[in-house]
């Protein structure tokens, strides 16, 4: 036991399991030691690294000018140096690392150094994203019409936006760093404001109040404030953030803003739903006394009615070429019409209307909608109403922007969560007759639609056949779908996502027409493409007024890819019993043998209760269909055979390599963890990328491969889970740009 657990053995174990890279260099910066962790991080083995100059092996760049001089000076003085920078790996990618370098002394003389480096690429990218987000929020803050001020816990001004500067008549240099009560508050209100600030910093927040600001010109402006506080991890207040509106023009403005504040918060948190928009219209009429109020919001290329008060009826969709509303939509310029009968653009909404004002809801240089207010001859609108409407519009635009972002974020989370569940459900069903309705039902759970239909290719006849229709109990499954006809036929023929805003009933496939709930339907039809072959189409249909958003279109395309994979897998499973143990083209094991061997390996892992690791690597030649079309199938066959040879070269004799189907291959690695699988996959990828492929007429061709890696996990110790996880990694590698390895 003493020998087994000697100091050297313990050090070897520690070095082998460290996540941080450990290596050593001499005074000439040549590598003298290269630990296993360094090999994992940098992609070079000890044999490749030891003896080479570090800068030649991994060309590096310090994070800041002067760091290299500081590093050399510290090393020569025998001091520890810590810093960061980037190195370029053998494939040209840049890796950001954080390093601690300790000089090594013998007899008081520095002979070299030992370095410990950590991958900080993800942290650096996160920091860059935070900086970008901070700039974005700063830009939004600056363009907002609302007054915004940020104070520290002592009441000193940290930041004010442009609106605050304009109102106070003071520059940031005159404001920042000074207590706000010294520079902005009239002397008569200083004691009250200091007491109010003390309550805020003591935890009495959020708060709403009014106070006066003293401008540089000596005028007083009445400001309505909403304040909240930021706290540290202990709960202590670090900053007070105030959003204010100048309500000097009248108390009606304050009453209106009190109401808009509440619905604005609701709009920002819940988004522009029918209920929140209706609440906005109600507050504008109840608190401000306006009889006619209209909110029109942008929805893609359309301008839809959000809410209205006072009219018997209004169009659901507004034409931007007509009316005062259309003029404001086109120009983004507020309009005040004292006499609507004298305005040639005016469109009558109510015969009693005599004056109108319309203001755009703008944020980030984009018109999100318009607020339109009309009045009769008994209470004509004035310039004060226009100023009030502009203030309300600023609040609504900011809340609307935040609300839309909240809705979009929630919808994205929901859709991609549902997409993940779709992939899981699709992977559970193997029998084609059960798979068709399962795919249609699962797709309907991802993208809401009245009807979701699935058509797939019948391999025996070569025709496309309607397999399942979610939303129709007695669907005419089994009928033929002709390429080019109907939404499904167009998606199949065009091999691309087809979006139709209002497809008439008669242009649907005849078998589906009787089941449509409306005469015109919004349609999203996505082809099921796999390995260059159109395996079918998924079609989503719902009434025309509910078009498909860009996010839904994006998810529909991903659904098509997942469904195509499920359909392709079903076809492969149907054929597996007809195949022999080896693939005739590559000489590798075929899918049939792979499936049996995989189950045996998984069973062995279960018996060992996790002591034996098992990893899978799914590999797929990138753009192989394009390669075949460009260079011919003989060149494609040559590429497949050559890639099979690379697989044999780069794996152990104990590993299982199989052609999974088409240009897709799989490797099973026993006694191999995730990092080991990634290393093997990366070696395969790099080797194949460099390998020349003989082409027609003596041409030299090249191709690349993408790979997904996964390991058998104790919580899901099944063959299906292992391969599905690896395939998810492969799918991610494809989506991320191909010619790379992704582990899940």
- Residue 592: CB atoms within 10 A of its CB come to 18
Q: Are strands 656-661 and 81-88 parallel, antiparallel or unpaired?
A: unpaired
pLDDT at residue 604 tops 90: no
For 478, 523, 540, the CA distances from 487, given in Å and listed in that order, are 17, 7, 9
- What's the Cα-to-Cα distance from 588 to each of 89, 530, 569, 640, 647, rounded to whole Å? 32, 22, 19, 11, 9
Contacts 24+ apart (CB under 8 A), 532-535: 532/624, 532/625, 532/626, 532/628, 532/629, 533/457, 534/457, 534/492, 534/495, 535/456, 535/457, 535/564, 535/567, 535/568, 535/571
Say whether 152 sits in a helix, a strand or coil. Answer: strand
Output the pLDDT for position 682: 96
Q: Are strands 464-470 and 480-481 parallel, antiparallel or unpaired?
A: antiparallel
Give residue for tokens 């991903």: 558
Mean pLDDT in residue range 282-310: 86
CA 475 to chain centre: 36
At 2, is the pLDDT very low, low, confident or very high (cuts 50, 70, 90)? very low
Q: Which of 140, 138, 80, 120 lies closest to 104 in space, CA to CA?
A: 80
Q: Does residue 614 carry a pLDDT above 80?
A: yes
Q: Which of 69-78, 80-89, 114-123, 502-511 has the lowest mean pLDDT?
A: 502-511
- Buried b / exposed e along 646-682 (16+ C-beta atoms within 10 A): bbeebbeeebbbbbbbbbbbbbbbeebeeebbbbbbb
Question: Quick one: how far is CA 124 from the chain centroid?
Answer: 18
Specify whether the CB–CB gap between 518 and 541 falls below 8 A. no
Mean pLDDT on 368-373: 94
How many beta carbons lie within 10 A of that of residue 136, not counting itself? Answer: 11
The token pair that represents 626 in the structure block:
């394009």
Beta bridge partners of 362: 367
pLDDT band of 16, cuts 50, 70, 90? low
Contacts of 311 (CB under 8 A, 6+ apart): 292, 294, 349, 350
Q: What is the pLDDT of residues 711-734, one digit of tens each?
A: 998 877 889 999 999 999 999 999
Q: How confident is the model at residue 570 (pLDDT cuts 50, 70, 90)?
A: confident
CA–CA separation, 358 and 441 (whole Å): 46
Distance of CA 449 to the CA centre of its chain: 23
Q: In what order do the strands lie in the sheet with 109-119?
A: 31-34, 21-26, 109-119, 94-106, 81-88, 60-62
Whether residue 5 has pLDDT greater than 80: no
Question: What is the band of 17 on the pLDDT scale with cuts at 50, 70, 90?
Answer: low
Query: Which tens digit of pLDDT belongs to each residue from 455-485?
Result: 999 887 889 999 988 888 777 788 888 898 8
Strand-pair category, 147-152 with 292-299: unpaired
Q: Assess whether pLDDT exceeds 60 at residue 4.
A: no
């Amino acid at each position: 036991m003493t020998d087994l657990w000697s100091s050297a053995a313990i050090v070897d174990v520690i070095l082998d399991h460290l996540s941080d890279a450990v290596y050593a260099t001499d005074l000439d910066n040549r590598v003298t030691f290269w630990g296993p962790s360094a090999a994992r991080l940098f992609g070079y083995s000890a044999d490749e690294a030891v003896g080479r100059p570090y800068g030649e092996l991994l060309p590096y760049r310090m994070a800041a000018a002067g760091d290299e001089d500081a590093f050399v000076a510290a090393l020569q003085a025998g001091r520890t140096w810590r810093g960061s920078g980037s190195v370029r790996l053998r494939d040209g990618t840049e890796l950001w690392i954080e390093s601690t370098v300790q000089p090594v002394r013998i007899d008081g003389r520095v002979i070299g150094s030992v370095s410990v480096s950590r991958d900080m690429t993800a942290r650096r990218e996160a920091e860059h994203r935070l900086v970008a987000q901070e700039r974005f929020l700063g830009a939004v803050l600056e363009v907002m019409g609302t007054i915004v001020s940020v104070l520290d816990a002592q009441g000193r001004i940290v930041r004010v936006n442009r609106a605050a500067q304009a109102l106070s008549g003071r520059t940031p240099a005159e404001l920042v760093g000074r207590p706000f009560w010294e520079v902005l508050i009239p002397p008569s209100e200083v004691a009250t404001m200091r007491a109010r600030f003390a309550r805020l910093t003591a935890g009495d927040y959020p708060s709403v109040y009014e106070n006066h600001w003293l401008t540089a010109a000596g005028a007083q402006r009445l400001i309505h404030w909403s304040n909240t506080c930021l706290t540290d991890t202990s709960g202590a207040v670090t900053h007070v953030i105030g959003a204010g509106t100048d309500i000097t023009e009248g108390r009606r403005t304050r009453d209106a803003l009190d109401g808009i504040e509440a619905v604005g918060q609701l709009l920002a948190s819940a988004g522009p739903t029918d209920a929140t928009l209706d609440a906005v219209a109600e507050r504008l009429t109840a608190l401000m006394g306006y009889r006619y109020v209209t909110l029109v919001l942008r929805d893609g290329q359309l301008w839809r009615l959000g809410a209205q008060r006072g009219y018997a009826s209004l169009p659901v969709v507004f034409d931007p070429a007509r009316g005062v509303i259309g003029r404001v939509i086109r120009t983004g310029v507020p309009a005040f019409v004292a006499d609507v009968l004298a305005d040639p653009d005016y469109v009558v909404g109510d015969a009693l209307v005599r004056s109108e004002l319309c203001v755009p809801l703008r944020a980030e240089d984009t018109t999100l909608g318009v607020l339109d207010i009309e009045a009769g001859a008994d209470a004509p609108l004035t310039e004060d109403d226009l100023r009030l409407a502009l203030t309300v519009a600023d609040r609504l635009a900011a809340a609307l922007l935040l609300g839309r972002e909240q809705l979009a974020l929630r919808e994205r989370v929901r859709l991609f969560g549902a997409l993940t569940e779709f992939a899981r459900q699709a992977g559970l069903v193997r029998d084609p007759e059960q798979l068709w309705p399962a795919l249609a039902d699962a797709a309907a759970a991802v993208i809401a639609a009245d009807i979701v239909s699935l058509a797939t290719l019948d391999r025996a006849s070569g025709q496309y056949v309607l397999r399942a229709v979610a939303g129709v109990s007695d669907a005419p499954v089994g009928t033929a779908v002709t390429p080019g006809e109907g939404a499904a036929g167009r998606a199949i023929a065009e091999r691309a996502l087809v979006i139709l805003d209002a497809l008439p009933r008669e242009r649907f496939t005849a078998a589906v027409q009787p089941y449509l709930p409306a005469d015109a339907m919004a349609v999203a039809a996505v082809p099921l493409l796999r390995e260059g072959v159109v395996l079918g189409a998924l079609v989503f249909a719902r009434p025309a007024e509910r078009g498909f958003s860009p996010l839904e279109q994006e998810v529909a395309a991903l659904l098509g890819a997942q469904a195509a994979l499920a359909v392709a897998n079903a076809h492969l499973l149907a054929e597996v019993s007809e195949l022999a143990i080896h693939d005739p083209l590559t000489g590798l094991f075929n899918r049939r043998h792979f499936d049996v061997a995989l189950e045996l390996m998984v069973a062995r892992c279960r018996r060992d209760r996790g002591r034996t690791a098992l990893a899978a690597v799914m590999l797929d030649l990138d753009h192989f269909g394009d390669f075949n079309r460009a260079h011919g199938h003989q060149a494609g066959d040559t590429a497949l055979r050559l890639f099979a040879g690379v697989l044999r070269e780069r794996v152990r004799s104990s590993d299982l390599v199989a052609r999974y189907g088409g240009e897709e291959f799989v490797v099973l690695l026993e006694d191999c963890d995730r990092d080991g699988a990634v290393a093997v996959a990366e070696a395969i990828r790099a080797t194949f990328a460099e390998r020349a492929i003989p082409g027609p007429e003596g041409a030299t061709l090249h191709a690349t491969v993408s790979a997904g890696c996964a390991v058998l996990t104790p919580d899901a110790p099944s063959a299906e889970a292992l391969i599905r996880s690896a395939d998810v990694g492969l799918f991610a590698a494809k989506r991320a740009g191909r010619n790379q390895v992704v582990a899940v």
